[in-house]
């Protein structure tokens, strides 16, 4: 576990109102369709109450996990008192860690600024966890979740969903090949350049978060590594959150002793169960689109020495496509900041470009 820095012992962060509330010091800020619900459930279920999720809000059951306060402008307007009230009373001798696991935080441009405003000089006490999944698989899973909600998405094929979004992104990149495409509020002509696609644009988002947080406050989790090594990732998150090693070890043992059926249920998200396989043309187009951003992300993680869990994936190409994925392959800065359309990805035995024909239909 040497690649995960030992965090200072957790100290309660209490609000300053007359009846102090235990404010969260652990935030899961990303990302959708990358295992955050499973990780959150492990944190809450297997730490003997050491990790607490706070109370439900008007948004219902999902709000036990996701508070949305620092990202969604309508939630931010509810104000400090509202957010403080959804957390339990704070006692100095009860060393609990409150967790706000809102995986959409990373895509909200103002989220890190709002957190800095809210916590002020206490901001360095916060620990951030960002679960990252290979963006093409993530986008596919996201599409199938949208279809479960019905409406226009129910009648739409994946290629119909993807085509206008890629066309918009391509148009922006033709104007400036180095455009970050995010946030949607960029000035014209770069506003709303990557609708829905921006959930996988980790590089410009991480740059934004690093404007407010020190790299040591961040822990990146490889989704592929989480699937293969859930206990190790769980341990790393607990250490990152400031729990003593003895407590982290006990929590891992409880996780490992949990029934396998319960663990499998946590790892599933029924809304995101897809059907069939993505057409080769669509997959190649998405790989082509995301490749330069992933290369820049590898470089940023390396330059800032940001920890990645599991440890074996530090310095590796952990966000490469599943068919190329290997935790043992080191990252090399061989395509950093290449403009759109100049990176080639192999899919099966065929090499595709943006204009290639599909080998399969959707």
Q: Once rounded to an integer, what is the mean pLDDT over residues 288-312?
A: 95
Question: Any residues with CB less than 8 A from the CB of 130 and at least 6 apart, and which?
Answer: 28, 29, 30, 31, 106, 202, 206, 218, 219, 220, 221
Burial per residue of 34-48, b for 16 or more beta-carbon CB atoms within 10 angstroms, e otherwise: bbbbbbbbbbbebbe
User: Residue 19 — very low, low, confident or very high, per pLDDT cuts 50/70/90?
Assistant: confident
274 half-sphere exposure, CB direction, 13 A CA radius:
15
Residue 322's pLDDT is 72
Looking at residue 111, what is its pLDDT?
A: 98
Which helix (H) or strand (E) covers residue 57, if one does? none
The answer, yes or no, to whether residue 347 has pLDDT greater than 70, is: no
| Residue 293 in this model has a pLDDT that exceeds 60 | yes
Average pLDDT of every residue of the chain: 85
8 A C-beta contact, residue 238 and residue 231 = no
Comparing 76-85, 153-162, 220-229, 272-281, the range with the smallest average pLDDT is 272-281
The per-residue b/e assignment along 256-276, b for 16 or more CB within 10 angstroms, e otherwise, is eeeeeeeeeebeebeebeeee
Half-sphere exposure of 269 (CA within 13 A, CB side): 19
Lowest mean pLDDT among 5-19, 72-86, 152-166: 5-19
Q: Higher pLDDT residue, 273 or 194?
A: 194
Question: What mean pLDDT do residues 97-103 have?
Answer: 97
Query: Binning pLDDT at 50, 70 and 90, where does residue 150 land?
Result: confident
pTM of this structure: 0.87
Which residues are known binding-site members? 133, 141
Backbone φ, ψ for residue 69 (5° rounding): -65, -45
What pLDDT is attached to residue 259? 83
> What pLDDT, on a 0 to 100 scale, did the predictor assign at position 66?
97
208-246 pLDDT tens trace = 999 999 999 999 999 999 999 999 999 999 999 999 999
Identify the CA nearest to 189 among candidates 213, 172, 170: 172
pLDDT digits (tens, 9 = 90+) for 307-323: 999 999 988 899 998 76
How close are the terminal C-alpha atoms of the chain, in Å? 43
pLDDT, tens digit, for every residue of 56-93?
Answer: 999 999 999 999 999 999 999 999 999 999 999 987 76
Whether 5 has a pLDDT exceeding 80, the answer reads no
pLDDT of residue 15: 85
- By annotation, the residues acting in catalysis are 33
Tokens at 354, concatenated: 């943006």
Q: What whole-number percentage of the chain has pLDDT above 70? A: 81
CA distance 230 to 215: 23
Question: 268: number of CA atoms within 13 Å, CB side?
Answer: 10
Question: Cα separation of 189 and 194, whole Å?
Answer: 12
Cα–Cα dist 51/49, whole Å: 5
Q: State the DSSP string of 243-263.
A: --HHHHHHHHHHHHHS-HHHH
275 band by pLDDT with thresholds 50, 70 and 90 = low
Average pLDDT over residues 97-105: 97
> Given a cut of 70, is residue 299 above it in pLDDT?
yes
Does residue 95 have a pLDDT over 90? Answer: no
Binding residues for 3'-phosphoadenylyl sulfate: 133, 141
* Dist. CA 47–CA 50, nearest whole Å: 5
360 pLDDT higher than 90: no
- Is the bond preceding 324 in cis, omega lying within 30 degrees of 0? no
How does DSSP assign 16-38, residue by residue?
Answer: SSSS-BB---EEEEE-TTSSHHH
Range 87-103 average pLDDT:
88
Report the pLDDT averaged over residues 163-178.
95
Residue 110: pLDDT band with limits 50, 70, 90? very high
The pLDDT score that the predictor gives to residue 9 is 61
What integer pLDDT is reported at residue 21 of this predicted model? Answer: 93
- pLDDT at position 204 is 97
Check whether 198 has a pLDDT greater than 80: yes
For the stretch 38-50, pLDDT in tens is 999 999 999 999 9
């Amino acid at each position: 576990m040497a690649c995960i820095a030992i965090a200072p012992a957790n100290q309660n962060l209490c609000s300053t109102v007359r009846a102090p509330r235990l404010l969260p010091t652990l935030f899961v800020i990303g990302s959708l369709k990358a295992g955050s619900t499973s990780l959150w459930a492990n944190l809450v279920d297997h730490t003997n109450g050491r990790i607490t999720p706070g109370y439900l809000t008007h948004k219902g059951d999902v709000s036990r996990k996701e508070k949305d306060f620092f990202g969604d402008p309508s939630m931010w307007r509810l104000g400090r008192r509202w957010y403080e009230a959804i957390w339990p009373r704070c006692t100095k001798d009860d060393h609990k860690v409150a967790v706000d696991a809102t995986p959409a935080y990373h895509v909200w441009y103002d989220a890190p600024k709002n957190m800095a405003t809210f916590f002020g000089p206490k901001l360095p006490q916060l620990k951030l966890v960002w679960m990252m999944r290979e963006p093409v698989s993530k986008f596919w899973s996201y599409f199938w979740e949208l279809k479960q909600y019905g409406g226009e998405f129910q009648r739409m094929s994946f290629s119909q969903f993807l085509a206008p979004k890629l066309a918009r992104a391509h148009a922006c990149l033709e104007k400036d090949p180095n455009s970050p495409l995010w946030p949607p509020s960029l000035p014209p002509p770069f506003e709303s350049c990557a609708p829905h696609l921006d959930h996988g644009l980790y590089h410009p988002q991480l740059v934004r978060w690093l404007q407010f947080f020190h790299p040591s406050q961040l822990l990146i989790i490889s989704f592929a590594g989480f699937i293969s090594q859930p206990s190790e990732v769980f341990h790393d998150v607990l250490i990152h959150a400031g729990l003593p090693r003895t407590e982290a070890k006990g929590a891992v043992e409880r996780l490992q002793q949990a029934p396998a059926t319960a663990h499998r249920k946590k790892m599933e998200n029924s809304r995101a169960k897809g059907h069939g396989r993505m057409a080769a043309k669509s997959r190649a187009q998405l790989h082509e689109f995301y490749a330069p951003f992933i290369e820049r992300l590898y470089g940023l993680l390396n330059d800032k020495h940001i920890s990645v869990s599991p440890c074996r994936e530090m310095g590796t190409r952990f966000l490469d496509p599943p068919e190329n994925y290997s935790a043992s392959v080191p990252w090399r800065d061989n395509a950093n900041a290449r403009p759109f359309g100049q990176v080639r990805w192999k899919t099966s035995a065929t090499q595709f470009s943006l204009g290639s024909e599909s080998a399969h239909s959707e």
